[in-house]
Amino acid sequence: MRMLFGNDSNLPWIFFYERRNSAYELIRQDQKENLRLKEKLCETAQALSRSNDIRAAIEKVKELQAEWKTIGSVPREYSDSLWNTFRSACDSVFERARKEFEKRNSEWGSRILEVISRKRHQIESLRDSILHDQSNISRWEEAITGLYKSGKAVEMREMFENKIQDVKNRIKEKEDRISELEASIRDMESRLQNIQQENQKNS
């Protein structure tokens, strides 16, 4: 180094270049270590993109993304390609998760529609049953009107009145059940609409 600069007056420059070269070497070593760490993250992310446990894969990818931010720079010639590889692997995990989410929502939506259909059939059956009960009540009330007010007619009247009251109680129970089913259908339809809107946002 002295021969390069000629005399001792150049010593400050010698020390400067030596320190600069030493600093550059430390930076290069640090970047090589960062490169190794980020390549490892890329390999892990790529493996996660093939994972069957998509929920766990998402959580792990989020951890990898946070870890990526803590690692310093890499040699410039690797920077863009390394980042693109990592981002592509992460995006692949999130895309699989989105498709899985949509698939599950679609299956859940189909099941909900089946349940709603069954509940509507139950409501129709209950309404038909109520109409039948009301018809019986009308028939028994007519029978009561035609009874005499003495003898066996008293027992008959009491029997019809008891039957009428019993059927009215059952009608009330059926009406309450219809209200429950209708409320359940409204809730399911609301949840189904929310899922459809969520799917539209993610599509």
Instruction: Convert the pLDDT of each residue in 109-161 to its tens digit.
Output: 888 889 999 999 999 999 999 999 999 999 999 888 877 666 678 888 888 99
Which pLDDT score, from 0 to 100, does residue 134 have?
95
Q: What sign does the CA torsion over 175, 176, 181, 184 have?
A: positive
The Cα–Cα gap between 161 and 144 comes to 8
**Which is more confidently placed, 176 or 112?**
176
**Which is more confidently placed, 152 or 185?**
185
**Which is more confidently placed, 12 or 71?**
71
pTM for this entry: 0.56
Lowest model confidence (mean pLDDT) among 59-68, 82-91, 105-114 = 105-114
**Cβ atoms within 10 A of the Cβ of 14, count?**
14
